[in-house]
């Protein structure tokens, strides 16, 4: 083979293997589109990697080579399906991995990409591999909670639903559930504002995230309970790096806060919170002296120009609790047992953006 062509092929192989290791599975069409080549090329690559024993070829794609091997005696095979391999999801899965060793379980990871069809393919594949149970953060985008509940209850192995509240929909209470209490996280932020002397609070949120409604409801409920003025509730555009729309929206938000005497702002998520800090500083607004800010997210909040006070989720513990609950459910699958709903509480990490009392 020509050296250049060989190098290109090896680069494709390395990309395919990274995707397989990260996601547990790949689809030919998706990889071909991402690499800008035709399906035939990727199919040949997968055949070659399968021949080498580096992965296992399946219809339409490939899975990790160990995903179809026999699980060692006494060891559980557990499926995990998340919307995407984001920082939050990764830390949740890491929490599962820590407990998996002591539970003698091996994880098979799949990503739904927030698509119902892809999610169902992940479920079917995992059931076909013989998993003993599945932890799933079901896709809710483009569907209804009733439909989500029906899909989850139809899975033919024990299931634990992760980070979705299905308690008020048909059959939702039949499902084991582990999630974070976002209302508590919002209340932590607003109580902190109040202790520092702020009596008027504002909310800035990216409405396209799945949890926007939960955070908004928690904000208005907690503000009313605490007797805080809370008239400003702004939806922000996507936090792209060079978004003039976002900068303009932030400038309008900051002007409204100044005009109304609002001195405290809760922001979801930290990408938006960091941009608000930058725009405020450019306008001569002091953080926290003129405006105190709390970010509802804590992945890189400490790296903002003014380190952000933030609501942080116990992601690793979330993963550990979900896996523990599933293993327990698998152990007593032949007996009737009341479904369990576990709520974990976020914490408030105090940094410079909201650390001083109102002057």
Same domain, 237 and 303: yes
Residue 53 covered by a domain: yes
Say whether both 261 and 233 belong to one domain: yes
Run of H or E including 265: strand 264-268
pLDDT at 235: 94
Unique residue bearing structure tokens 């979330």: 318
Q: Which residue has the higher pLDDT, 127 or 101?
A: 127
pLDDT band at 305 (very low <50, low <70, confident <90, very high): very high
Among 12, 34, 67, identify where a domain stops.
Answer: 67
**Which pLDDT score is estimated for 102?**
79
Final residue belonging to a domain, choices 39, 67, 95: 67
Mean pLDDT computed over 187-212: 93
For residue 170, what pLDDT is reported?
Answer: 75
CATH code of the domain in which 28 resides: 1.10.10.10
> Residue 81's pLDDT is what?
93
Contacts of 77 (CB under 8 A, 6+ apart): 71, 105, 106, 108, 129, 130, 131, 132
CATH of residue 279:
3.40.50.2300
Quick one: 211 and 304 in the same domain? yes
Q: Is the pLDDT of residue 334 over 50?
A: no
What are 309's strand-pairing partners? 294
Q: Nearest-CA neighbor of 330 among 156, 133, 155?
A: 133
pLDDT tier, 239 (very low <50, low <70, confident <90, very high otherwise): low
DSSP string, 93-154: HHHHHHHHHHTTEEEEEEE-TT-HHHHHHHHHHHHHHT-SEEEE----TTS-HHHHHHHHHT
The average confidence (pLDDT) of the chain is 87
Q: Are residues 55 and 83 in the same domain?
A: no
Give per-residue pLDDT as tens, 49-77.
Answer: 888 888 888 767 788 776 544 444 447 89
- How large is the average pLDDT for residues 26-32? 84
3-class state of residue 205 by DSSP: strand
Q: How many structural domains compose the chain?
A: 3
Q: Do 304 and 251 belong together in one domain?
A: yes
CB 26 within 8 A of CB 16: yes
Q: Do residue 168 and residue 230 come from a single domain? A: no
Residue 189 in contact with residue 205, Cβ under 8 Å?
Answer: no
Please check whether residues 295 and 337 belong to one and the same domain. no
Full domain range(s) for residue 16:
3-67
Q: Is residue 359 in a domain?
A: no
225: number of Cβ within 10 Å: 11
Given 46, 67, 88, the domain boundary residue is 67
pLDDT given at position 312:
93
My answer on whether omega of the bond before 236 falls inside 30° of 0, hence cis, is no
């Amino acid at each position: 083979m020509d050296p250049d062509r060989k190098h290109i092929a090896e680069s494709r192989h390395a990309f395919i293997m990274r995707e397989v290791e990260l996601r547990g599975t790949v689809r030919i069409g998706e990889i071909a589109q991402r690499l800008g080549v035709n399906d035939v090329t990727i199919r040949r690559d997968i055949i070659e990697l399968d021949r080498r024993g580096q992965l296992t070829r399946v219809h339409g794609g490939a899975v990790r080579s160990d995903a179809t091997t026999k699980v060692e005696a006494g060891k559980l095979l557990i499926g995990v399906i998340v919307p995407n391999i984001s920082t939050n999801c990764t830390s949740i899965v890491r929490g599962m991995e820590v407990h998996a060793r002591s539970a003698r379980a091996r994880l098979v990871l799949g990503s739904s990409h927030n698509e119902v069809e892809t999610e169902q393919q992940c479920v079917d594949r995992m059931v076909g591999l013989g998993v003993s149970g599945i932890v799933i953060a079901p896709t809710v985008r483009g569907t209804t909670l009733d439909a989500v509940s029906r899909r989850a209850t139809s899975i033919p192995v024990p299931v634990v639903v992760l980070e979705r509240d299905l308690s008020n929909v048909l059959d939702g209470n039949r499902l084991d559930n582990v999630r974070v209490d976002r209302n508590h996280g919002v209340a932590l932020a607003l109580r902190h504002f109040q202790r520092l002397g702020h009596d008027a609070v504002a909310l800035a949120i990216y409405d396209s995230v799945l949890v926007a409604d939960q955070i908004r409801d928690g904000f208005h409920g907690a503000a009313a309970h605490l007797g805080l003025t809370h008239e400003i509730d702004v939806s922000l555009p996507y936090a792209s790096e060079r978004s003039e729309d976002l900068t303009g929206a932030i400038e309008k938000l900051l002007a409204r806060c100044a005009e109304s005497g609002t001195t405290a702002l809760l922001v979801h998520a930290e990408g938006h919170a960091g941009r608000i800090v930058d725009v405020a500083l450019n306008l001569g607004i002091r953080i926290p002296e003129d405006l105190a800010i709390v970010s509802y997210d804590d992945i890189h909040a400490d790296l903002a120009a003014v380190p952000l006070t933030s609501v942080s989720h116990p992601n690793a513990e979330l993963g550990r609790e979900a896996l523990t609950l599933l293993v327990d459910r698998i152990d007593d699958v032949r007996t009737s047992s009341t479904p369990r709903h576990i709520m974990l509480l976020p914490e408030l990490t105090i940094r410079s953006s909201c650390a001083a009392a109102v002057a």
